[in-house]
Structure 1
Amino acid sequence: MLRTILHRLLGMIIVMALVVTIVFIIVRVTPGDPAAMMLGPDASEADIAALRTKLGLDGPIITQFAYYVLGLVQGDFGQSIFLNQPVTQALAARAEPTFFLTLFSLLIASIIALPVGILSAYWRGSLFDQAATTLAMFAASVPSFWLGLVLMQIFAVKLGWFDTSGYGGPGASFGERLNHLVLPAVALGVVSSALITRFTRASMLDVLSDDYVRTARSKGMSEWRVVIRHAFKNALIPILTVIGLTAALLISGAVVTETVFGVPGIGNLVVSAVLRRDYPVIQGALLVIAGLYVLVNFGIDMLYLLIDPRVRY
């Protein structure tokens, strides 16, 4: 078991090293000069060159990369060019909306997908199964931002049940903030539930026909106990995998949804940073998202060890 954990940790380090390199290169080759954008169209070439020197953008790429990696090792993600504050501080200020939006979206997706997937597999070929499969395919093809706009038009503009945008004022209560997150969380959750539903159905179909399920039924166990305790438990590993991947995708997928609903989260910050060519913020946000993605997958791997003892060996 310890060997498995060390192997996963080594893999995480290698992946993050590759992510750091790729993110740095992609951001640097993107067209646009942040110094020129900061000073405006009336700035002279001398002023732009002086600002590039001040920001450290005039040195060789290798030198910039070396200083960047050295800063990361020391926990320094750099200084935001436009916000004039440390990147870690800018990300921390935007982390709460993104965290709760991702959490609520994943809860909504799981609450929808798990029961539907289990019942669809149990009633295979029935009208319910066909309807669930069709709706899952439809949900998978719907863009989350379009669904968000539809929900906003119906439940915020026409009915007035929820707020259209924002995250509440500085002194807003948790209930007020939750009211702002309901529509974007539903938009992300419904779209994400399609993949979990299909994987749950497929995984349950694989185990419902196994010998141990028939043996459990022959012993007189109730159908609920056979399906949930025996079949669902053994089908849980691939389902956990797709839930973990969905959680990671929700973090990155919140970029568009946060922009549509005006949620001041990390996704909104990334969009603003891209438009302004704020290199440190873009790099820091992408590294945080990639790090969370890796951590989620590591957590799922550790859950494997708890759910299925065979994984330990």
Structure 2
Amino acid sequence: MAQLIGAALPVTLQLMLLATVISVVLSLALGVLAAQTDGRLVDRTIGGLAALFQAAPPFWVGLMFIQLFAVALGVLPSGGYVPIGDGVKYWFSSMIGPATVLALPFTAAMTRIVRASVADELAKDYVRTAKGAGIPWLTILMRNVLRNSLISPITVLGLYIGGLMSGAIVVESVFNLPGMGTLLVSGADQGDLGVVRGVAIVSAFVFVLVNLVVDVLYILLNPRAAEAVAE
């Protein structure tokens, strides 16, 4: 059992890490863009797409992704896993599809949270004062608005990580990845309670560890929380 989990865990962790990076980058970019175009076509389009992908079933999105990028365009493999030791290019090619599919619903949810948080910050007096003082907009955005806006998304990021773990079960099955989700399904089908129990315990440990990291990030970004911890 330990060998099975030891072989499957790195695949799932790589999938979750890549999906998290994709989700964070896209949600920040789209959330900020939507907030800056509040009420306009771009904002409404991003909001509509976010609602669509948040509601779409991951298995359907995965199948459509394979149909488009693997079958129709032929630019990505339809499934399977290539270890990173066999070449980063081939590893990335095998992981970018499932990671994107896994990231989409969480990107949609995080985009809406980032958009609301950034919009609140943009409406505050210090932003108008900074703009009136001639401070470059990019400086205001990066040093003040984003820093203050990230507090709310980070508080829910840990919860979404749990969703990533459950979503990985579906995505790994669709893309035939030998990860924890596939191992869990295989163990359940074969009635191997030891494997099922082991996967559940390891998954719970990963979830707790990730939430600990998220809590540390929250303290670093929120000075008031850091002061409370120090007291």
TM-score, normalised via structure 1 length: 0.68
Q: In structure 2, what is the equivalent of residue 257 of structure 1?
A: 171
Alignment partners' CA distance in 1, 2:201 and 2:161: 16
Alignment correspondent of 1:224: 138
Tell me the percent identity: 37
1:212 deviates by 2.1
3-state SS of 2:86 partner: coil
Aligned partners of 1:125, 1:167: CA distance in 2, in Å?
42
| Residue in structure 1 matched with residue 223 of structure 2 by the alignment | 309
Question: Which residue number corresponds to residue 191 of structure 2?
Answer: 277
Name which one, 1 or 2, has greater alpha-carbon Rg. Answer: 1
Q: 109, 127, 130: which one pairs with 1:195?
A: 109
Return the match for 1:127 from 9, 20, 41: 41
5+ long unaligned stretches in structure 2: none
User: Which 4+ residue blocks in structure 1 deviate beyond 6 angstroms?
Assistant: none
Aligned to 2:31: 117
- Aligned-residue CA RMSD in angstroms? 1.8
Q: Distance in 2 between matches of 1:112 and 1:169?
A: 26
Partner SS state of residue 132, structure 1? helix
- Per the alignment, in what secondary structure is the counterpart of residue 24 of structure 2? helix
Q: 1:126 to 1:281 in 2, by over 3 A?
A: same
Of residues 267-276 and 101-110 in structure 1, the stretch that sits farther from structure 2 once superposed is 101-110
Instruction: Check the 8 A contact 1:91/1:266 in 2, yes or no.
Output: yes
Which of 49, 60, 63 does residue 149 from structure 1 map onto?
Answer: 63
Separation of aligned partners in 1, 2:83 and 2:48: 41
1:248/1:292 contact within 8 Å kept = no
* Number of positions where the alignment pairs a residue of Structure 1 with one of Structure 2: 227
Q: Is the 8 A contact 2:84 2:90 kept in 1?
A: no
Q: Which of 208, 213, 216 is matched with 1:294 structurally?
A: 208
Is 1:245 the counterpart of 2:153 in the alignment? no
- Give a deviation string over 1:219-257, Cα, whole Å, max 9, x none: 221222222211111111112223333233212210011
Q: Where in structure 1 are there 5+ consecutive unaligned residues?
A: 1-86
The aligned residue for residue 5 of structure 2 is 91
Change (3 A) 1:169 1:244: closer
Which digits, 9 at most, give the CA deviation of each residue in 1:122-141, with x for residues without a partner?
Answer: 22111111111111001101
Structure with greater proportional helix content: 2
